[in-house]
Structure 1
Amino acid sequence: MLTDFKNSLSSLNEIIYFDDNQFLREKTRDAVRLQQHIDVAIELLKSTLNEEEEYFVRGTLGNLYRINGEPQKAINNLNFCLNYAKEGQLTSKEVVSLIRLGEALKYNNNHNEALNKFNRALERCQSNNLDNYIDFVQQHKGKCLMELSRLDEAEECFLDALRIRKQKGNPELISSTQKAIDLLSSSLESDVK
């Protein structure tokens, strides 16, 4: 059942989008389908899972709840993931959990707490040479700062993310950051007017 659930997750790309009118927050085009995935994840948690599998299901569930407009449920699941990663000294999982938790906190309008999580993730990346996550941290931190109208700081984050993503050469990631920069630019222009 877990394997089927993992395989079904790629279909979510069809129904999830970044809302230009909501600072590129993730939204769904099909709440019923999203809820079906949430329901499957909840059922999986009732089955016998090892800790690693529970980490995966709760991390996924946290993201799905966030997109579904239930950030508190997201936070609860993602706190589990963060604790699991810290207890196991799994630094890359800790960084991923901090980013996901930061996003859920942002969706729950706890922007300053979200920034603390993003900063902690950045610190963990830098102190453990986890360079492959820095662009993700900077992207999410930049979007959080943009929501707080801290536009100059947001721009610094986006430009750092873009520089790293160009080095990685991943067109999807580059496009995602460019979209954030474009939105930021339009915000800066409207502030000038």
Structure 2
Amino acid sequence: MDIQIPFNMNYFFNDVLREVPESTEQMELGVQYLIDQFEKSSGMHKARIAGLLGVYSRILSFYNDGKYYLKRAISLYEEYGNELSAFVNKIRLAHIFHWKKRFEEAVELFESLREQALINPKYSKYLDFIYQHYGKCLLDQGKCSGALVQFNMALALREKKGNEDLIVSTAKAIELCERLMRY
């Protein structure tokens, strides 16, 4: 079941590779709408809404709410035996730790998820996202050379996938990283 949100939930990436809402007010209304839907929902639908709430809460800098909903999504997906969706939401949770500047927790989770994706083929299709977001986490810590390694790993995988939007996103990350390394 696709979730229709009657508000503008679109975002763009700023100069430091962070998502920014096109309309903060609209996204906040959308989050409230999703909270209402979450409370009325059950099962996998509830888990999916929780995951979306985690993402949009992070974008709006409501980190504690985002963490709460992502942990709920992970718990629900694990309860229903959907390990892949639980894994995706763990990537999102690592992203929240990163944005909260809880770098040690973020790095630990990104590294754990990366190892799982390298070992288990069912998670490998998300390896490029792990490399990309881990790279952003390292970049925000000023670890440009480590970030560049992660971005190049992401780019290689994304070029194989052939998704132009993802390739462009990673190319911008590499460009930012290289620019910061020059100064």
TM-score range, shorter chain: over 0.9
Aligned twin of 1:39 = 32
Aligned twin of 1:7 = 4
Question: What residue ranges of structure 2 are gaps of 5+ in the alignment?
Answer: none
The structure richer in helix per residue is 1
Q: Which one of 49, 53, 57 corresponds to residue 61 of structure 1? A: 53
1:154 is the counterpart of 2:153: no
Letter in 1 for 2:58: R
Whole-Å separation in 1 of the counterparts to 2:128 and 2:159: 10
Q: Which one of 161, 166, 176 corresponds to residue 168 of structure 1? A: 161
Whole-Å separation in 1 of the counterparts to 2:135 and 2:7: 26
1:121 is the counterpart of 2:121: no
Runs ≥4 in structure 1, deviation > 6 angstroms? Answer: none
Whole-Å separation in 2 of the counterparts to 1:112 and 1:56: 27
Structure-2-length-normalised TM-score: 0.92
Q: CA deviation at 1:83?
A: 2.3
Q: Is the 8 A contact 1:91 1:124 kept in 2?
A: no
Q: Is the 8 A contact 1:78 1:101 kept in 2?
A: yes
For the structure 1 residues 90 and 128, does the alpha-carbon distance in structure 2 shift closer, same or farther, using more than 3 Å as the test? farther
Q: CA deviation at 1:120?
A: 1.9
Q: Which one of 3, 6, 13 corresponds to residue 18 of structure 1? A: 13
Q: Which one of 36, 44, 48 corresponds to residue 52 of structure 1? A: 44
Q: CA deviation at 1:151?
A: 1.2
**1:178-189 correspondence to structure 2 within 5 Å:** 178-189=171-182
Whole-Å separation in 1 of the counterparts to 2:177 and 2:72: 33
